[in-house]
Chains A and B, each alone.
Chain A
Amino acid sequence: MDPNTVISIVVPLDQDSALLESLVTGLDETLGSSFRFFEIVLVDDGSTDGTTTAVQPLLKRIQRIRYLRLSRRFGRDVAISAGIESAIGDYVVTLDPRTDPVSIIPAMIEACRKSGGIVHGVADNVPSRSFLRERIGHFFRSYCRKHLGVDLQRGAADFRVMSRQAVNALLQIREQSRYLRVLTLTLGYHHEFFHYTLEPRPGTDSSRSWRGETATAIDLLAANTRHPLRVVTVAGLLGAFLNLIYAVYVVAIYFLKPTVAAGWTTLSLQLSGMFFFVCLILAVLSEYVGTILGEVRSRPLYFIAQESNSSVLLEDTVQSSIVKESIG
């Protein structure tokens, strides 16, 4: 039983009153046997299924529960962020109440203690979806690896243990886009992947529609990388260049060929001229939009992982305070 470390468990609740009692009791028992000080932070994301009433008897019976109710439904990532912002622990654990097993939490905390940084839970038994969706998912993750610099793993969701150092860094990011699966990876620090098996609680459904996933993916890319904008810039410049070539070609035809349809030259020049300008303007605008994105972002440019100083003794370096001249 660890008497010194304080642990916070953040649980987002979205119409989850049915599993509340078993989850909280399970957390209390598992953590109570390993840690003397811990808190269970329940963040109610605007549930309308009587979660508030269901939590009252638990508040009376079990110590160290904190119940935060958001004013309306804000979404899972915002709810988890609210919990993290309020958590006091040396280690902050976040989990999905519908699928994540409570029993392995002490082991994950131990792994985080050894490595510092963040331990991401990676589920080995995520149910497979259609071949096409799996391929797209795989492509998306490799794109993110290349252009966002984040190592998204299949099966990594919200089951995570963050050290206080990583949490403090996360708190400094005040952006609106709060995709924690990516944000936590962009912080830097040491990342570890802890494999586990999902244990879906009975009566819950946690599948997500492809429409929702696609929307999330697009939002994520727009908020975190300028690569698509760069592609637009390049395409714009290329288009402008091709239009220029085409204009030259049109003029050449006009001078070289004897029979050209009436009005073709003017029309073609006008078209290519307009498209040239449009492509150029798009290219320039996309660069500026990219710059705006970078400026509007309100996160620190860097986070410090460690600071060490020389331990040279002053006595060894200062020889004497005698000076030989009064002016330098």
Chain B
Amino acid sequence: MHSPDNRTVVIAGGGFFGCTIALMFHRRGWTPVIVEDADDLLTQASRVNQARVHGGYHYPRSLLTAYRSRHNYERFRSHYREAIVDDFTKIYAVGRFFSKVTASQFEVFMKRVGAPLKDAPASIRKLFNPALTEKTWIAQECAFDFSILRERLRRELAGAGIEVRLSTRVEAASPHADGALARLSDGTEIPCGLVINATYAGLNRLTSGSGLPLIPLKHELTEMALVELPPELEGLSVTMMCGPFFSFMPYPARKLTTLSHVRYTPHAQWHENPQTGASDPYQRFASMPKNSNFELMVADASRYMPALRGAVQKDSLWTVKTLLPLSEIDDGRPILFQRDSQLPTVIHVMGGKIDNIFDVEDELDSLLGNG
């Protein structure tokens, strides 16, 4: 399929996925080169997220996503132990109105997936408004500190001798006898066996720069408020399911808590597809006004948990969240692992959940096995 002689792989994107994929290739005898646009690793999507290691609870209507999440949860926990933060109580609750699942459905689903749920004690139950909350449970889910992950990846990359080029972008990939020719923004060109496009929101910067077909994507301008919780809620993390509800989780890297809301976190959305053409999502992000929706998030969330009125906003995290259009229908969150249809030595990888990295490893094996 591709020339086995050139075992250089150019990895566009120095986020968690890009760095981990580089290490995967290294273990299989390849020579990876990581090319990252920012001036450090893990600065974009890997940094600005809910810092949640998904335990399978979050998608009670997509069995595939939930099951894999649970499966990968334990693996991620043991593999990246130093970055795991689990000194808080994770609570899941089901709303009475507007929830797409009932409490009993949620329990049955989680049992099926193998995700543990324990009925919440009275001290937790009394924090919730019973008129609007059907039931609450204590679950097993943890958070991660991206800065520790970054440190660990830096160490591993240095130990493996993997080249990392910062403040550089892969502008185009073109056909080459070795497989592909990657042209970088600093003017250099690298002939390689494979190009991995792991740039998350910026996937189509590479495709449009190379004249490759556009990958249909949906982008959202999202805001997560960074807050200090009131004393009654300290040590707790709550996610309300399953509809236009809120969630708050510790954000270890800043020692604060993120508050997000299904309705108020996305501020704007736009598509990249053959009709709209490609548009640089980072440029759009920079040009959009950023007016915090914190008041609205708290107004709704405090209907369910009155104690949230005491949350103090310290900042907001803004980023571009990228989704696959197919997940609009069934609420699943699969990972994209797509060989480019025009230039098969370019592989596009995009995932929205950090613990699904292990699925990528399996896919990589079958990819390299075939080649």
Interface residues of A (CB under 8 A from B): 4, 6, 36-37, 39, 85-86, 88-90, 168, 171-172
Within 8 A of A (CB), among B300-318: 300, 303
| Docked pose: A90 CA to B298 CA in angstroms | 11
The answer on a CB contact under 8 Å between B299 and A4 is no
Contact of B299 among A85, A89, A168 (CB under 8 A): A89
| Docked pose: A22 CA to B64 CA in angstroms | 46
Contact of B296 among A6, A86, A168, A172 (CB under 8 A): A6
Q: B131 at interface (Cβ–Cβ under 8 A)?
A: yes
Interface residues of B (CB under 8 A from A): 97-98, 129, 131-132, 295-296, 299-300, 303
| Interchain nearest-CB distance for B126 vs A (Å) | 15
Considering residues B98, B132, B303, which has the most beta carbons from chain A within 10 angstroms of its beta carbon?
A: B303
The answer on a CB contact under 8 Å between B129 and A37 is no
In the complex, what residues of A have CB within 8 A of residue B299's CB? Answer: 6, 37, 88-90
Task: Please give 18 more A-B residue pairs, beta carbons under 8 A apart, in addition to A85-B97, A171-B132.
Answer: A4-B295, A6-B295, A6-B296, A36-B295, A37-B296, A39-B296, A86-B97, A86-B98, A88-B296, A88-B299, A88-B300, A88-B303, A89-B299, A90-B299, A168-B129, A168-B131, A168-B303, A172-B131
| Interchain nearest-CB distance for B316 vs A (Å) | 15
| Docked pose: A39 CA to B299 CA in angstroms | 11
In the complex, what residues of A have CB within 8 A of residue B131's CB? Answer: 168, 171-172
| Interchain nearest-CB distance for A32 vs B (Å) | 13
| Chain B residue at minimal CB-CB distance from A82 | B97
In the complex, what residues of A have CB within 8 A of residue B295's CB? Answer: 4, 6, 36-37
Contacts A/B (CB < 8 Å), 11 sampled: A4-B295, A6-B295, A6-B296, A36-B295, A37-B295, A39-B296, A85-B97, A88-B296, A88-B300, A88-B303, A89-B299
In the complex, what residues of B have CB within 8 A of residue A89's CB? Answer: 299
In the complex, what residues of B have CB within 8 A of residue A86's CB? Answer: 97-98
In the complex, what residues of B have CB within 8 A of residue A39's CB? Answer: 296
| Interchain nearest-CB distance for B52 vs A (Å) | 24
In the complex, what residues of A have CB within 8 A of residue B129's CB? Answer: 168
In the complex, what residues of B have CB within 8 A of residue A171's CB? Answer: 131-132
In the complex, what residues of B have CB within 8 A of residue A37's CB? Answer: 295-296, 299
